[in-house]
Amino acid sequence: MLLSELSRMNYARKWMKSNEAFLPTWHAFIGYRYGLFDTLKKPMKASDLAEQEGLNEELLNAWIDTGLAVGHLKQKRGKRIQSVKAIQKQMSNQDPKSVGVLLEEMMTLHIPTLLHYDQKLALEPREQEDNMSHMVAETSSLIEGISYPKVNRVIKKTKAKHILDLGSGYGGYLKRIAKDHPDANLIGIDKEEKLVNEAQNRNQSNQITFRQDDILSQGHLFEKLDLVMLNNALYYFSNGERSKIFDYVYQSLRENGHFTMITPLANHGKGREFPAAFNSFMCAHEDMQPLPTEKEIKKLAKMHQFKIKTSTPLIREGGWHFFHLVKQDQ
């Protein structure tokens, strides 16, 4: 089982890596369409650029982070950003020698057509359904093979018996815990009813209780828990909501209780290309929020009286990290 999971994870990492080649194309297209490479011939702060061009500053910052990662932009003193000469020449929307129009055709005509290829291939139109929550739950399971040993190590070391998984999805982590710790009392919460129903179908263990709940809307508060987990869910919540989650976890835990969290981070170390692009997607998607930074996690921990015991990279190419926090006395 472990070898199969590692093999699956390696394939996933290879696909993530291969798709990084698309990031410079996407970044160059946006820069060409808005004339940003021309404007950034002279260094500017992101805030000034957003105001001058009438752009969404949050999305602009995500685009800039990707540009720094792929080498289209460089950072100057005073947090000013400048486009590199090579991209200025290739993607100017003022220079007649620019090749940006070819990229524009590919991104606005060719690729959208190919993305609808699956619907055109079938002779009979296929019914479309919203399966975003299903896809996210399934892709999150890819991380479990790498992250679960770290979670399990915390459970063994702390002898945690009463465990809550916030945003439990299909209950993959709880299923693993039940197998390794038959005396544990496990609870999974998710606000998506269809995910809760599917989790109940997939996990018939008497150890695990799944319930639909939204902790941000005066959800049920558990008390005296040994461990609370939050896996691949923080990017669904705004900064204010993240603070509420930390407060909920603090109130739910017993004295010196434990909090583990798995999340991709923005602007972090090696393999910066994928997290930068992933963060651009999060900023643009109506149901997502920007990725947290390590600085933000540290600020939330301090604000809500948690001590960060460990912070460990899981997948460097994607910026995923594992955090182990401990509740501190007030």
Per-residue pLDDT, 93 = 87
**What is the three-class DSSP state of 76?**
strand
Q: What angle do CA 166, 172, 177 make, to 5 degrees?
A: 85
Find the helix packing angle between 57-70 and 46-53, rounded to 10°: 120
Residue-range domains of the chain with CATH: 13-119 (1.10.10.10), 134-327 (3.40.50.150)
Per-residue pLDDT, 316 = 66
Phi-psi region of 305 (alpha: psi -120 to 50; beta: other; left: phi over 0): left
Phi-psi region of 209 (alpha: psi -120 to 50; beta: other; left: phi over 0): beta
Residue ranges of the chain with per-residue pLDDT less than 70:
1-6, 8-13, 15-20, 125-141, 268-272, 316-318, 330
Per-residue pLDDT, 104 = 93
DSSP 88-103: HHHH-SS-TT--HHHH
Residue 183 CA to residue 159 CA, distance in Å, equals: 11
Return the number of other C-beta atoms located less than 10 Å from residue 287's C-beta. 9
For the chain, the maximum distance between any two Cα atoms, rounded to a whole number of angstroms, is: 71
